[in-house]
Amino acid sequence: MDKIRVSLLAYTEDGERLIAAASKTSLSRKSPEKILSMPDEEVEEWIRETWRRQHFSPWEHSVYTWLADGCSRVCSHQLVRHRLASYTQQSMRYTEGSLREAALEAAGLLGIECPRKPREAGARRAYECYSMALREAVRSGLDPVRLAKPAFVFPPSLRGEALVEAANLYLEAAARYYSLLAVGVSREDARFLIPHAVRTRIVVTMNARELVQSFLPLRMCTRAQWEIRLVAWKLWKRLVEVHPRLFKWAGPRCVFQQNTTSDPRPLVDYLEGRASFTIPRCPELVPREGIRACLLHANGRAGRV
């Protein structure tokens, strides 16, 4: 979990004003140029108005490109189910991802000299060395969790012997992957042996409407898988830093439903108890009296604001 990083790479800098202006344009006879010059307090009011009327089409004009780095392919496979987005993911056909980092770490601890980069002429010998180092690491009693962490994600439910067993299986899979490369099997075929737990990085572009209506409500919810939930809370925190007028109202499905059926309140107010839920139950059927506790659980340690 500690190696999962979410960063905002680019965004529509004047997105708040653009969304407010687009919203006002639908109801005003003024020219767009005049509307764009509205004062800041009017920007806030028009953004709130989109929540009151559930008028989110203007939000499509503000776009955000972000990076999820170090998450597993379990997480990225869920992420790409959001169809109104663009994705570019690290290829396991043309790269070894983070596997070589684990192999070189094992080699260094064992005193095995492996090339840092496989050269074309001697690539097979390098791959054989990586495979040997990983297999020897499993046999020698080195800490497998420490060695596997650079390359693989560990679910938080794994503890004790189960954690060690998973780490050894990860390292063994990586060793077998390199043994196939060493005998000339292509990466695109050798990757069939790699567990979904392998770390990846993926660049995502979404507009504000997709974020606030779909991605954040679904993935910040306590019902979401823990890893993509962590990514969603980290992303929300960055979005609030750059566009607080937009994303302070966003949140899990309970907050989205509450804020689109009554006067919207910032997510932080619900977390800290300054705002209460009036909906009888959330979309996941948690009754009103249990929603805040569920929200706090979803926020978790890593995503705590």
**Three-class HEC string of 149-160:** CCCECCCCCCCH
**Structure tokens, 132:** 């040997």
**DSSP state, 90?**
-
Q: Would you say the C-alpha torsion 149, 153, 156, 158 has a positive or negative sign? A: negative
* Placement of tokens 């203007």 in the chain: 58
Buried b (16+ CB within 10 A) or exposed e, 192-217: ebbbebbbbbbbbbbbbbbbbbbbbb
CB neighbours of residue 268 within 10 Å: 13
Residues with active-site annotation:
219
